[in-house]
Amino acid sequence: MKKIRDFGVNIGNIEIGERNQISDVDGVMVGHTTIDNADIQTGVTAILPHTGNIFKKKLRAASHVINGFGKSAGLIQIDELGQIESPIFLTNTLSVGAVLDAGVSYMLDENPEICDSTPSVNVVVGECNDMILNNIRVQSITKEHVYTAINNSSVNFEQGAYGAGRGMKCYGLKGGIGSSSRVIEIDSEFYTLGTLVLANFGRMKELTIDGRKIGLEIYKKLKQTNDNGNEREKGSIVVIMATDAPLSHNQIRRVASRASVGIVRTGSFLENGSGDICIGFSTYHKIPHDKRNIKPYRHEEIHDDDIDLFFRAMGESTEESILNALCSSQSLKGYKATLYSLSEFL
């Protein structure tokens, strides 16, 4: 599984993390369930924000909608309360309901008090439409697929055509799951910011790698086989951001919004038919669900004069995550088309 750096392309100037993926943020794990069965090419990806009980120890969080052509679940409460209390699940568009149901079941299994002695739970699901490679109308995702993705979670996870990324198309090529990370130094303290993308957007002619208009080159080589070069951008991208830095809810939202920088640098114009959604969280503060015997806790956050470093890291990490999704995904023949890996053209 090659990444963009294996082809001599180093995005940005900020130092990358140990694994160069979102799990460089301590406690974050990712798991997949992948379905590879003829016309069914889809799956589920689960992002676990920390290794404990996320409902009992919530994290500060925020979302940012660049373009709202999407069917995500759970964003309203994140933005109202500034907290996340469940794993984040990614899947295909028509399976949001099934994954939400399974995610609720998982949270009920883990927390018997939900809707008994305490209010309900907010489960977060993001989606992209994989109808080109996957017969999405079959609605093949089940509860077992969601539980398996959770149980498969690890700091070491596959990128490319795995989990929710199995059936994704990006810039007319094989898209999918990609990840990257950056290490930021502020006043001799080091913080990590990591991103994970579900990349399913863009037009082939516009793909740009570190300033190189490679999409037009690929388009000419393929002789319009997979993309007429003029079709409207109809896909989507979900960007997950994690950091161990002490950021406030509003700072998380502002940093997450800079995913747009990375998306645009790869060639997208964030068109009407592209659903572009960012969800971010910080592991620095763990907020107890039960307030009994808990005194008011101090809230720390970085100074806004230092936030530009996080903006830059978010842009760089998102850009590299997208390119890693394209490089890591193998060429795949699916339901309606064959899509090629970017790695075949580098």
Residue of 268, 274, 321, 343 marked active site: 274
Kind plus residue range of the DSSP H or E element containing 152: none
178: which 2 tokens?
Answer: 């990609």
Whether 276 sits among the annotated catalytic residues: the reply is yes
Distance, in Å, from the CA atom of 20 to the CA atom of 179, rounded to the nearest integer, reads 7
Distance, in Å, from the CA atom of 129 to the CA atom of 123, rounded to the nearest integer, reads 20
Residue 294: Cβ-neighbour burial (10 angstroms; 0-12, 13-18, 19+): exposed
Contact 72, 125 (CB under 8 A): yes
Q: Which of 267, 150, 98 is nearest to 199 (CA)?
A: 267
Residue of 236, 321, 328, 329 marked active site: 236
Residue of 86, 179, 276, 282 marked active site: 276
Beta strands in 38-188 (DSSP E): 40-48, 57-67, 83-84, 88-92, 124-128, 169-170, 173-174, 176-186
Distance, in Å, from the CA atom of 134 to the CA atom of 326, rounded to the nearest integer, reads 18
Residue 127 to residues 46, 70, 209, Cα–Cα distance (Å): 12, 7, 25
144: which 2 tokens?
Answer: 């077992």
Residues with active-site annotation: 236, 274, 276
